[in-house]
Amino acid sequence: MQGKIALEEHFALPETLEDSRGFFPDTIWDELRARLLDIQDRRLREMDENGIELMILSLNAPTIQAIADPAAARELARRANDYLAEEVAKRPDRFRGFAALPLQDPAFAAEEMERCVRDLGFVGALVNGFSQVGDEATVTYYDGAEYRPFWRTVEALGVPFYLHPRNPLLPHARIFQGHEWLMGPTWAFGQETAVHALRLIGSGLFDDCPKLQFILGHMGEGLPFSMWRIDNRNRWMDLPPTYRARRLIGDYFRENFHLTTSGNFRTPALADAIAEIGVDRIMFSTDWPFENVDHAANWFDAAEISDADRRKIGRDNARALFGIE
Amino acid sequence: MQGKIALEEHFALPETLEDSRGFFPDTIWDELRARLLDIQDRRLREMDENGIELMILSLNAPTIQAIADPAAARELARRANDYLAEEVAKRPDRFRGFAALPLQDPAFAAEEMERCVRDLGFVGALVNGFSQVGDEATVTYYDGAEYRPFWRTVEALGVPFYLHPRNPLLPHARIFQGHEWLMGPTWAFGQETAVHALRLIGSGLFDDCPKLQFILGHMGEGLPFSMWRIDNRNRWMDLPPTYRARRLIGDYFRENFHLTTSGNFRTPALADAIAEIGVDRIMFSTDWPFENVDHAANWFDAAEISDADRRKIGRDNARALFGIE
Amino acid sequence: MQGKIALEEHFALPETLEDSRGFFPDTIWDELRARLLDIQDRRLREMDENGIELMILSLNAPTIQAIADPAAARELARRANDYLAEEVAKRPDRFRGFAALPLQDPAFAAEEMERCVRDLGFVGALVNGFSQVGDEATVTYYDGAEYRPFWRTVEALGVPFYLHPRNPLLPHARIFQGHEWLMGPTWAFGQETAVHALRLIGSGLFDDCPKLQFILGHMGEGLPFSMWRIDNRNRWMDLPPTYRARRLIGDYFRENFHLTTSGNFRTPALADAIAEIGVDRIMFSTDWPFENVDHAANWFDAAEISDADRRKIGRDNARALFGIE
Amino acid sequence: MQGKIALEEHFALPETLEDSRGFFPDTIWDELRARLLDIQDRRLREMDENGIELMILSLNAPTIQAIADPAAARELARRANDYLAEEVAKRPDRFRGFAALPLQDPAFAAEEMERCVRDLGFVGALVNGFSQVGDEATVTYYDGAEYRPFWRTVEALGVPFYLHPRNPLLPHARIFQGHEWLMGPTWAFGQETAVHALRLIGSGLFDDCPKLQFILGHMGEGLPFSMWRIDNRNRWMDLPPTYRARRLIGDYFRENFHLTTSGNFRTPALADAIAEIGVDRIMFSTDWPFENVDHAANWFDAAEISDADRRKIGRDNARALFGIE
Ligand SMILES: [Zn+2]
Ligand SMILES: [Zn+2]
Ligand SMILES: [Zn+2]
Ligand SMILES: [Zn+2]
């Protein structure tokens, strides 16, 4: 399919490269580093070869969220956003930008969000899970009351918020200790991000901000498979919910969330996601450079869905959500 | 469908009742308690009314696994198994038993497993996740080297092992702190059990015990949706696995695991499970008394699968796995 | 689901009743006759009880199409349309109308189509397959050149055309002779209607009238299952098509056709239709009074699709296609 | 997938080549002729390159069935069967045979069936729809009483019968006249074969011969999509069937039929077939040389089904049905 739009597509600044270093052998790291630093060259070739007209770009993970010093987080976020705006300006026909936001400081994050949308023309934000704030062991999720003004700003700006994965801190998630192979995209990314999303829903965020729209990658981080059970376990008991939100969790999921295919190129998972959230809320993405553009595109272009659905997921849903003509 | 076999079906002893107490209001608790204590009366009526010929019974959760004193755990396990054997003997045409096992003491657990299968005629074991051992804060998962002899015993007996959920301890899973509505079947059960299963696989258990067969409830605790990504994330990197097992995680999942429908009565999730693990490895179950038998049966009997698949999932797969005529 | 719109919903005039007589025993016939003659009473109750806000009504089959005398066909069509307009006017909040058209006389049919849309406010036409013209054994399908002006009129009016089944004449379809149990909805309806649709596509009709929109009932009369093979048989031969149309048959199917669920309440067939034509081109219908409204609605309301898709199929797609507010 | 078995795989004798001539341009015909005449050379290479261990071979269509002179039909069938037996004997590790049968003469056909199974080691028969007998315009389907002894022979031999498509005679199927592009695999093959199968079921054949097993190609010739409607149309009327068989049509379909994937390489159709008839009754096939082996295998090997199902469809179901070790 030609004309695809992809929206979980990362780049790095030289100073954020190390965040993607992992334990890769040198051969992998050389390649990954080159992919992360490039925007205008190989990336465009990959897009051209794989029918991608537009990428919405975002800084790599966890970067801003892992900087415990709020001032440093603020400074880096601004710099990353300015850099991204310049790069997008070189090819406005091929790129758009997501803001990096220092949610260690919700008031500043709201300001930066406004600046990014109004002055830099960004189409939303992408944030890598919880923030460490003050010291490395202190984490903050965004369901707390202190984040409501930030969310109202995002809602008022009318742009979506991409909740991107990061790993839990090992002391906070003991089941992974000694089993670090489960970290990252293998498993921990999904668990961490799904629960963060559920905490946000349960907090009543979407009662307060009913128009706020979130995006989750990786076909919904496992939520489509489990959403029925979340709302239907122990059904005969007919118990009132013990979370703060007013409706079923799935109601918010179906009205305030969108999913992308990033890093999850499996048709039964796509079918499951369509059955849960509807085809209008699913969008193509690759997760470049951690996944290959051709792996994503070859799968998607041939996936056994209707061409009408392919056009929506591949392009039209993103156009509608981001107001792209 | 008549003649169904169900295998995640719980009962309680008076002394294990409190493990299921939760924060239920009294009306719920009165009903739940009565359901848990009953075996020969209402349970059989529910089975008759919903086309269930046979239930394989198991003690409620977490019970044995939450008894930090190994001697007490051993004693209760034996007592529960003896009681269950007596109850099964009253209606061998309608019931079978799963052993409760004090895995705080793997050597004793292996002995008790042998006793249950050889002397009591049980068809397998059902264990509620990790065990607390010595003190409440010390937990043990079963992927460690000290459990290999136990697993060899299970493999040699040729009976399956049902890994049933329990909640993580809150200090070990900080993301749930202050968000206890996510505990239990809503979310934490699945995360806890899925990761325990992945740890077992990654440990090379099924290289050592290639014939060992596990069962997971709740349509696989989220694993079918994510198994592709577990084995395919960052595929271009073509990195060797950092776990000990020799093959892909999904290879073991498809050869050493079976799933049940307990508490997950959603056809797209079933379709996803079939796509991942194949219809021969899925079995009907209800999760009585936490779920209603009629909720399970009404859904299953009408689910949009072929009647051939319905017979397998509803009955024939269990007959083959447990050697039930 | 409340607010559904249904669009293959039939009524009879006293003089067209016999067309639905079939070989039904008297008990069935008494009930069916009463259902066919009723519009304002039981029909509305069925709609209320099953969440149907609006029915688009059409004359029973084959009626007009089986009147070999064009003058008689013209006269009955006008009368049926006038009668339907009066009935719709009594409850414009609950009913709309499809024109009955005497395609024995394409020029008159075009005029009548215009009158029905412009003067009577009808939202399209529903025609029961081929017409007999002049004598009973002479049949005319609508792919011939003599029908192009009629189709241009329909296209210009911007309303869809529902191609409804009728039985083939037995001398023309010898395989059914002596096996009349295969006639009607059991099999022959689908074969007859699918091939008529394919003939229309192959004739190049949609090259001449690219905006013309057809509707097929019964989940597409078998076409979704076979459309891939229609366009892909003997693919290595890469043979040019021997029909007149310029593109693949499936291209027209996906751009010029809509399907309804009438009389085909099976979720795998719906899934197949969605995979072929996309969810935006499928609409709920019942085929009352030949099928029960509750059979259709109970199935549809519980079918394992996303609620977003349910709203589209149940209501929004019809609103968009027919311009219903 | 390695080790696949394929069972709708055709060859021609020099004297049956013309039956496959069609209206192909010379380039196509040269290639098709070479493919049809080859057994031991290119065919084996195609099999090797595409993971096919075994092909069950059958004569091209319509051949025997289109020879109105019974003596000539008998003679050619015997000759074709002898030739096939010789070819199979050259590579018994790679080939098996289906008998060609002159059903113009049911008594002789029964004898020849016995000879083929007992003396030549064939694993079943493949017959191309109705036979012309006596003159070209006289056709005979196999639901008539005169065929019951033949069917009892097939049942007693315990081998399946593959009902392969042929085109209807145009005077018998007027809807195709002037629209010959619909003949063959495009549409008419499916209609003809599906109705022949339905006539056989409706005749009560499977009440008389309950163990008789049929095979249909092309994912069931459209029957999976429509089987629900065949048995459920006008359900409120609860009318007794007007065919002779004692049970629902679908009951026989699910117990006496198997399907192959020949020429229908579309995953949603496969999913639909699985939902209707169950995965144990579906087998891989290509329809060589009319379809490409690689088109079939590349699709099948990557189709989004479980590997367990892939092994069944690709190999194990055929092994069980044909008793292949
Ligand atoms: Zn990413
Ligand atoms: Zn349970
Ligand atoms: Zn109708
Ligand atoms: Zn063939």
- Residue ranges per structural domain of chain C: 4-322
Give one word for B96, left, alpha or beta, with left for phi > 0 and alpha for psi -120 to 50: beta
CA of B53 to the centre of ligand 2 (A): 19
d(CA B238, CA A192): 25
Which of the 8 DSSP states describes residue C312? I
**Residue B23's pLDDT is what?**
79
**Residue A122's pLDDT is what?**
98
Taking CB atoms and an 8 Å cutoff, what residues of chain C touch B266? 304
Q: What is the distance of C-alpha B54 from the center of its chain?
A: 17
Ligand index nearest the alpha carbon of residue A7: 1
pLDDT digits (tens, 9 = 90+) for A253-292: 999 999 999 999 999 999 999 999 999 999 999 999 999 9
Question: Does B24 have pLDDT greater than 90?
Answer: no
Question: In the predicted model, what is the mean pLDDT of residues D174-199?
Answer: 97
Q: Do D225 and C222 touch (CB under 8 A)?
A: yes
> β-strands D139-140, D131-132: how paired?
antiparallel
Backbone φ, ψ for residue D40 (5° rounding): -95, 0
Q: Is D268 on the interface with A (CB under 8 A)?
A: yes
Distance separating the N- and C-terminal Cα atoms of chain D: 18
CB A5 within 8 A of CB A318: yes
| Active site positions of D, annotated | 287
Which of the 8 DSSP states describes residue C167? P
d(CA B325, CA C12): 57
Find the angle CA(D236)-CA(D238)-CA(D239) to the nearest 5 degrees. Answer: 130
**Residue B49's pLDDT is what?**
98
DSSP per residue, B40-94 = SSHHHHHHHHTTEEEEEEEE-SSGGGG--SHHHHHHHHHHHHHHHHHHHHH-TTT
Residue of D nearest to B312 (CA): D278
Task: For residue A212, give Cα distances in angstroms to A112, A150, A208, A253.
Answer: 18, 11, 9, 11
pLDDT digits (tens, 9 = 90+) for D233-249: 999 999 888 999 999 99
Residue of B nearest to A218 (CA): B229
Taking CB atoms and an 8 Å cutoff, what residues of chain A touch B226? 187, 190, 222, 225
**Residue A325's pLDDT is what?**
84
CA of C261 to the centre of ligand 3 (A): 11
**CATH code of the domain occupying B4-322:** 3.20.20.140
**Which distant-in-sequence residues (6+ apart) come within 8 Å of A101 by Cβ?**
A64, A77, A109, A112, A113, A125, A127
CB D183 within 8 A of CB C243: no
What is the amino acid identity at position A300?
A: F
d(CA D236, CA C292): 6
To the query of whether residue B38 is one of the catalytic residues in this protein, the response is no
Question: Does D24 have pLDDT greater than 90?
Answer: no
A230 band by pLDDT with thresholds 50, 70 and 90: very high
Taking CB atoms and an 8 Å cutoff, what residues of chain B touch D305? 275
Q: Which of A198, A275, A295 is the closest to B236 by Cβ?
A: A295
Mean pLDDT of chain D: 97
How many A-C residue pairs are in contact by the CB < 8 A criterion? Answer: 41
CA of A54 to the centre of ligand 3 (A): 46
d(CA C248, CA C241): 8
**Which distant-in-sequence residues (6+ apart) come within 8 Å of C295 by Cβ?**
C265, C286, D235, D236
Please identify every stretch of chain C with a pLDDT value under 70, giving residue numbers as ranges. Answer: none
Which of the 8 DSSP states describes residue D16? G
Instruction: Please name the residue ranges forming H helices in B209-292.
Output: 223-232, 249-256, 267-277
Question: Does D325 have pLDDT greater than 90?
Answer: no
Q: Identify any residues that bridge with C140 across adjacent strands, giving them in sequence order.
A: C131
Q: Do B307 and D275 touch (CB under 8 A)?
A: no
| Number of other CB atoms surrounding residue C242 within 10 Å | 13
Mean pLDDT of chain A: 97
d(CA C309, CA A305): 14
How many C-D residue pairs are in contact by the CB < 8 A criterion? Answer: 173
pLDDT digits (tens, 9 = 90+) for A118-154: 999 999 999 999 999 999 999 999 999 999 999 999 9
Buried b / exposed e along C271-292 (16+ C-beta atoms within 10 A): bbbbbbbbbbbbbbbbbbbbbb
pLDDT digits (tens, 9 = 90+) for B200-215: 999 999 999 999 999 9
User: Which residue of A28, A30, A175 is the best one to mutate when testing the B interface, meaning the one whose CB has the most B CBs within 10 A?
Assistant: A175
In what order do the strands lie in the sheet containing A214-216?
A125-127, A161-163, A214-216, A257-260, A282-283
**Residue A24's pLDDT is what?**
87
User: Taken in order C254, C257, C258, C261, is the CA torsion positive or negative?
Assistant: negative
d(CA C198, CA D20): 25
ipTM for this prediction: 0.86
Return the structure tokens found at C296: 């259709």
> β-strands A139-140, A131-132: how paired?
antiparallel
Task: For residue B161, give Cα distances in angstroms to B142, B190, B223.
Answer: 12, 17, 17
- Provide, for chain A, the percentages of residues in helix, strand and coil under a 3-state DSSP scheme, each rounded to the nearest 5: 55, 10, 35
Q: Do C305 and A280 touch (CB under 8 A)?
A: no
Counting every residue, how long is chain D? 325
**Which distant-in-sequence residues (6+ apart) come within 8 Å of B94 by Cβ?**
B44, B47, B53, B54, B55
Return the structure tokens found at A220: 């919904």
pLDDT digits (tens, 9 = 90+) for C271-299: 999 999 999 999 999 999 999 999 999 99
CA of A10 to the centre of ligand 1 (A): 7
CA of B142 to the centre of ligand 2 (A): 19
CB C126 within 8 A of CB C162: yes
Taking CB atoms and an 8 Å cutoff, what residues of chain D touch C228? 264-266, 269
Which chains would you list as touching A if contact means 3+ CB atom pairs under 8 Å?
B, C, D
Shortest distance between the Cα of D306 and any Cα of chain A, in A, equals 10
pLDDT digits (tens, 9 = 90+) for A99-108: 999 999 999 9
Torsion of CA C202, C203, C208, C214, to 10 degrees: -60
Question: Does D137 have pLDDT greater than 90?
Answer: yes
Q: Is C266 on the interface with B (CB under 8 A)?
A: yes
pLDDT digits (tens, 9 = 90+) for A7-32: 999 999 999 999 999 888 899 999 99
B156 band by pLDDT with thresholds 50, 70 and 90: very high
In which residue are the tokens 């979704």 written? C224
**Residue C288's pLDDT is what?**
98
Buried b / exposed e along B120-157 (16+ C-beta atoms within 10 A): bebbbbbbbbbbbbeeeeebbbbbeeebbebbebbbeb
Question: Does D63 have pLDDT greater than 90?
Answer: yes
Taking CB atoms and an 8 Å cutoff, what residues of chain A touch C305? 275
Q: Which of C275, C279, C308 is the closest to A304 by Cβ?
A: C275
Q: Is A275 on the interface with D (CB under 8 A)?
A: no
Q: What is the distance of C-alpha B301 from the center of its chain?
A: 22
Residue of B nearest to D275 (CA): B306
CA of B147 to the centre of ligand 2 (A): 23
d(CA B102, CA C36): 69
pLDDT digits (tens, 9 = 90+) for C149-169: 999 999 999 999 999 999 999
Distance separating the N- and C-terminal Cα atoms of chain C: 18
User: Which residue of C267, C304, C309 is the best one to mutate when testing the B interface, meaning the one whose CB has the most B CBs within 10 A?
Assistant: C304
